[in-house]
Structure 1
Amino acid sequence: MLRRKLLRLIGSLTAVAALTATMVSPAYADDSSVSNVERVAAAIEAATPATDLSSPGEISAGQLVTSVGDIESAVPLSSDSAIVVTRPTAEGEQAARIELPDEVSVGDGVVANDGTVVYAANDDSGDAVAVQTLADGSTRIQTVIGTADSAHEFGYQMDGYHPYQSDTGEVVFVDDSGNVVPVGAPWARDVSGQPVQTGYEIRGDELFQVVTPDASTVYPVVADPTWMWAGPAWGMKLTRAETSRVRDYAAALGMCATFTNKLPKVAIACAVFGSYIVAQANIAQGDSPKTCLFFTAAPIPGVIWRLPC
């Protein structure tokens, strides 16, 4: 079954590559590029967990445009351009931009029949970047690490957003208006399907996924962050005064009760969560400048971020 799926995906990518060779387009116009696409397809199929993709979009003005409900994703065929996702927010419709990682030198993209946009490396390394729109509107950006000598960390930026990481490892991007975009937990797998150690690091305004192979890792390796537009982190943000007040355990218990009453589907043990609130509030007061607490109910209930007030 897996082999049949792989052959279909390789066939679709190869067919698209052959078609683009007859058009006025820089993407995949020679046999070496087609070979690169086949290797990328094989690596992705072997490593990627089963996930429903959206229905394939349409190519318009040099980008693949895909709509899922109120979310529209425009994935450029030019590797120099950014992915643009338009989604509804509390302030109205908003366009968010994600830059492709520049640690991989890739050519322009080819669109497979399933809607995956593949940017293969400009050399024979087997490195690549592949972008998919999932059935819930999420954007998945996969990096294919072709060899042990390839880059093993990849930086992602969103114009106007800053990444934040909770003390338990979850990551969100937040803009100046307080719009929050969660990023799914990182994963990486080698071509044999074995997990490879990976994690996130925040460096300034950039989120890095760092992949750490070991002696048993079989290349290529596929690594993935996913931006979850349809399921934003939601919860309750405290003011600076509230953040200061919940350094007291009794006040923290009261705030936990308020949180769970507003979000009845979230089950939190306030005796434990109250201590967590106190600890994070004290850290927030020591931050320079001081930060405010944000409790989330999704993607993981009860996670606390320290965000700008």
Structure 2
Amino acid sequence: MKLKNSVHAAMLTTALIAGTAAPAIAASGGSAVSAADRVTATVQKATGTADVAPDSTRGTVMATDRGLVTVTTPASADGRVTVAASDGSAVTMTLPAAVGAAGTTSAAGTTVYPDAAAHTDLATQATVGGGARALVTLKDAKAPTTQRFNLGLPEGASLVADGNGGYDIVTSAGGAGLVARGHIDAPWAKDAKGNSVPTRYSLEGNTLVQTIETGADTAFPVVADPHYTWGIISGTVYFNKKETKVLALGGTVVGWLPHPAAVVGGRSLAGIAGYAVATDQCIKFKVNPALAPLSPAAAVAGSGTYKGSAGDGYCR
């Protein structure tokens, strides 16, 4: 994968927040350490910088094996993170900001928004795989442990729980099923000692809600991270209950699938679909789109089952 950066210089804007105190004085050597430097150090300690793309506040274009993806992170905390595919479609995400704190971008590409909410710093990173991180730093035990990120989805797109704590962002596969064109990774959170802090997602409409379970032993600050991609087809295709039942009975729902009697991973597609029907689930396939025109059987790399949820409802 090659990285094409359309940005020629890092954004050096100073974070200007009404009422912000003067920069702290470092304990060692007496040198001034700005709020932006403090947040950057905390975030980059948690994430590392190996997969962080250069400054994306003016757009970073990445050439992936599925086409060009452009990531733009907001110049202020009240803006939206945008990940756009080569066809012009995009998925956006708001930050849980209370004020429009101006961003400062580090040499490594992390844009930080100090004190953008009560007891909370925010940050964004474009990632070289064609995605974006929205990072929340809980500065102390008074910081809210529930954070909300509103998602802007293209027309016809929806979210399907992936079974691992994250979500696939899906659109119509054409004819039948839904194909994943983006993904929200399972959440993570780390405290100041590098220990994992329990965290989980839920959905309120198109709002991604992250809950972070801090406790008496949590070392602050805590960094938590929603990370998502768009425009990179993962190959996961979801079918609903009606389509699953057709497959279980030996029928065909879409031309690129092999015959239901075909064996995938030691089991026939019809058998897997039959199990899904019997357990009130739906079937999903992992597909290599490049192989589909050559051999439908080779195109199906794996299969499994999934259940609907309040957030997606496709398995119905």
Map Cα deviations across residues 35-66 of structure 1 (whole Å, 9 max, x no partner). 32233123213322564222334xxxxx4311
Letter of the 1:65 partner, please give it.
G
Alpha-carbon shift at residue 158 of structure 1 (Å): 2.0
Determine helix, strand or coil for the equivalent of 1:64. coil
Alpha-carbon shift at residue 228 of structure 1 (Å): 2.4
Count of residue pairs brought into register by the alignment: 265
Counterpart Cα distance in 2 of 1:168 and 1:232: 18
The answer (yes or no) to whether the contact 1:129–1:143 under 8 Å persists in 2 is yes
Q: How does 1:28-107 map to 2 (within 5 A)?
A: 31-32=22-23, 35-48=34-47, 51-57=50-56, 63-69=57-63, 70-88=68-86, 92-102=87-97, 105=99, 107=101
Structure 1 278/189 Cα, relative in aligned 2: closer, same or farther at 3 Å?
same
Determine helix, strand or coil for the equivalent of 1:219. coil
Alpha-carbon shift at residue 269 of structure 1 (Å): 4.3
Alpha-carbon shift at residue 259 of structure 1 (Å): 5.6
Determine helix, strand or coil for the equivalent of 2:243. helix
The answer (yes or no) to whether the contact 1:53–1:132 under 8 Å persists in 2 is yes
Counterpart Cα distance in 1 of 2:137 and 2:270: 39
Structure 1 303/111 Cα, relative in aligned 2: closer, same or farther at 3 Å?
farther
Alpha-carbon shift at residue 31 of structure 1 (Å): 3.2
| Residue segments in structure 1 that go unaligned for 5+ positions in a row | 1-15, 58-62, 285-291
Cα RMSD after superposing both structures: 4.0
Counterpart selection for 1:295 from 285, 298, 302: 285
Counterpart selection for 1:152 from 140, 145, 161: 145
Alpha-carbon shift at residue 129 of structure 1 (Å): 1.4
Counterpart selection for 1:268 from 258, 265, 268: 265
The answer (yes or no) to whether the contact 2:182–2:231 under 8 Å persists in 1 is no
Structure 1 123/283 Cα, relative in aligned 2: closer, same or farther at 3 Å?
closer
Structure 1 203/283 Cα, relative in aligned 2: closer, same or farther at 3 Å?
farther
Counterpart Cα distance in 1 of 2:183 and 2:287: 12
Map Cα deviations across residues 176-224 of structure 1 (whole Å, 9 max, x no partner). 7856311112111101111111111122221212111233210001111
- Corresponding residue for 1:11? none
Counterpart selection for 2:160 from 138, 160, 164: 164
Q: How does 1:4-23 map to 2 (within 5 A)?
A: 20-21=13-14
- Corresponding residue for 2:295? none
Give the TM-score normalised by the residue count of structure 2.
Answer: 0.68
Structure 1 222/260 Cα, relative in aligned 2: closer, same or farther at 3 Å?
farther
- Corresponding residue for 1:140? 133
- Corresponding residue for 2:170? 174
- Corresponding residue for 1:242? 243
Counterpart Cα distance in 1 of 2:69 and 2:209: 25
Letter of the 1:75 partner, please give it.
T
Letter of the 2:134 partner, please give it.
I
Counterpart Cα distance in 2 of 1:49 and 1:260: 43
Counterpart Cα distance in 1 of 2:43 and 2:302: 31
Q: Which has the higher helix share?
A: 1
Alpha-carbon shift at residue 123 of structure 1 (Å): 7.1
Counterpart Cα distance in 1 of 2:304 and 2:48: 25
Alpha-carbon shift at residue 166 of structure 1 (Å): 3.5
- Corresponding residue for 2:191? 190
| Residue segments in structure 2 that go unaligned for 5+ positions in a row | 1-9, 25-32, 289-300
Letter of the 2:193 partner, please give it.
S
Determine helix, strand or coil for the equivalent of 1:31. coil
Is 2:276 aligned against 1:279? yes
The answer (yes or no) to whether the contact 2:112–2:121 under 8 Å persists in 1 is yes
Give the TM-score normalised by the residue count of structure 1.
Answer: 0.69
Alpha-carbon shift at residue 78 of structure 1 (Å): 2.2
Structure 1 123/87 Cα, relative in aligned 2: closer, same or farther at 3 Å?
closer
Determine helix, strand or coil for the equivalent of 1:196. coil
- Corresponding residue for 2:115? 121
Percent identity over paired residues: 22
The answer (yes or no) to whether the contact 1:110–1:117 under 8 Å persists in 2 is yes
The answer (yes or no) to whether the contact 2:284–2:305 under 8 Å persists in 1 is yes
Counterpart Cα distance in 2 of 1:268 and 1:94: 35
Counterpart Cα distance in 2 of 1:40 and 1:94: 32
Map Cα deviations across residues 101-155 of structure 1 (whole Å, 9 max, x no partner). 24x5561211111221111115783x21111111111111111111111011222
